[in-house]
């Protein structure tokens, strides 16, 4: 198996390349709070293990093997987050740090049990897809809320930014996964949006907030 540290590098590389396409030594070093030389030598080490394709001054890339390993760690992370929320009563803003540690536990049975108890969930508490046992991720194609127009009915499906502060803010304005939203108005000037939730509450979101929300469009008849 791989060390705790190697696993964190693999996962970070996997996530960064999904978000931003090309991953550089600098971006990875920032993501992990490490210096560039540390990243550089770890990349060489992982290249030795055939998990990373490394060529000097070229963008970093995972091999197929590396992608699978990374996805399986991500699977453990997201299953854990789901378990913490669904079965232990944690809020979605308090699970990431714990999952960051639990994801390194080496026990097939432990995560299989979690999976089973949760009923084989497809998404984590933030709406991110949970890779399957082969590391395959089923991609959703949702719309960013800030790309929606006035009058549309949507349901909140995922958040693409998961800082504690943002999640706590969403709690405060009563936005949870599954919340039905109708867009009342979209301000051209600053792209802020006035929304009404199915609960009846009206809220206004800045573009900075709505950019991080993924929604599914509803037929207007499904009120």
Partner DNA sequence: TTTATTTGTTAGACAAATCTAATATATTAA
Partner DNA sequence: TTAATATATTAGATTTGTCTAACAAATAAA
Enter the DSSP assignment of 128.
Answer: P
| 34: contact with DNA by CB under 7 A | yes
Q: Tell me if 70 sits within 8 A of 55, measured CB to CB.
A: no
Tell me the two tokens of residue 195.
Answer: 């929304």
The smaller minimum CB distance to DNA, of residues 59 and 178, is found at 59
What is the nearest approach in angstroms of DNA to the Cβ of residue 10?
11
**Interface with its own copies in residues 68-87 (CB under 8 A):** 84, 87
Q: Please state the closest distance from residue 216 (CB atom) to its own copies, in A.
A: 32
102 binds its own copies (CB under 8 A): yes
Contact call for residue 31 and Mn ion (CB under 5 A):
no
- 105 lies in the site for its own copies, by CB under 8 A: yes
In this structure, which long-range contacts are made by residues 191-196, counting pairs with CB atoms below 8 Å and at least 24 apart in sequence? Answer: 191/146, 193/145, 193/146, 193/148
Whole-angstrom distance, CA of residue 144 vs CA of residue 78? 22
Q: Which of 36, 37, 46, 63 is nearest to 5 (CA)?
A: 46
Query: Per CB under 7 A, does 25 bind DNA?
Result: yes
Provide the token pair at 184. Answer: 């009342």
Of 38-77, which residues contact DNA (CB under 7 A)? 38, 40-45, 54, 56-59
| # chain residues binding DNA, by CB under 7 A | 25
Please tell me what DSSP assigns to residue 200.
S
Please report whether residue 3 would count as binding its own copies according to CB under 8 A.
no
Residues 123, 95, 114, 12, CA torsion sign: positive
Which of 106, 134, 141, 199 contacts its own copies by CB under 8 A? 106
140 counts as binding its own copies under rule CB under 8 A: no
Query: Which one of 50, 65, 113, 217 is in contact with its own copies (CB under 8 A)?
Result: 113
Q: Identify the residue among 67, 75, 76, 96 touching Mn ion (CB under 5 A).
A: 96
Six-digit token pair at 87? 């079965």
100 near Mn ion, rule: CB under 5 A: yes
Q: Residue 21 and residue 140: Cα distance in Å, rounded?
A: 18
Helix ranges (DSSP H) in 21-174: 25-32, 36-48, 64-88, 96-102, 108-118, 164-172
Residues near its own copies (CB under 8 A) are 84, 87-90, 94, 97-98, 101-102, 104-107, 109-110, 113-114, 117
Residues near Mn ion (CB under 5 A) are 8, 96, 100
Residues near DNA (CB under 7 A) are 3-6, 24-27, 33-38, 40-45, 54, 56-59
């Amino acid at each position: 198996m791989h060390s705790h540290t190697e696993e964190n590098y693999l996962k970070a590389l996997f996530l960064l390349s999904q978000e931003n396409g090309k991953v550089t030594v600098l971006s990875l070093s920032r993501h992990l709070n490490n210096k560039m030389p540390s990243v550089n030598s770890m990349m060489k080490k992982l290249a030795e293990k055939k998990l990373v394709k490394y060529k000097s001054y070229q963008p970093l890339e995972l091999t197929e093997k590396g992608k699978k390993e990374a996805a399986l760690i991500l699977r453990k992370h997201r299953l854990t987050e789901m378990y913490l929320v669904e079965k232990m009563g944690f809020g979605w803003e308090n699970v990431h740090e714990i999952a960051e540690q639990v994801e390194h536990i080496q026990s097939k049975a432990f995560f299989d049990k979690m999976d089973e108890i949760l009923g084989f969930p497809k998404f984590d508490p933030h709406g991110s897809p949970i890779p399957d046992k082969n590391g395959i991720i089923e991609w959703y194609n949702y719309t960013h809320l800030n790309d929606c127009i006035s009058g549309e009915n949507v349901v909140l499906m995922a958040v693409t930014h998961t800082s504690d502060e943002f999640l706590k803010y969403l709690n405060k304005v009563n936005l949870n996964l599954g919340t039905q939203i109708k867009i009342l108005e979209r301000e051209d000037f600053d792209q802020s949006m006035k929304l009404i939730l199915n609960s009846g509450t009206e809220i206004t979101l800045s573009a900075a907030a709505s950019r991080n929300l993924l929604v599914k469009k509803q037929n207007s008849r499904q009120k």
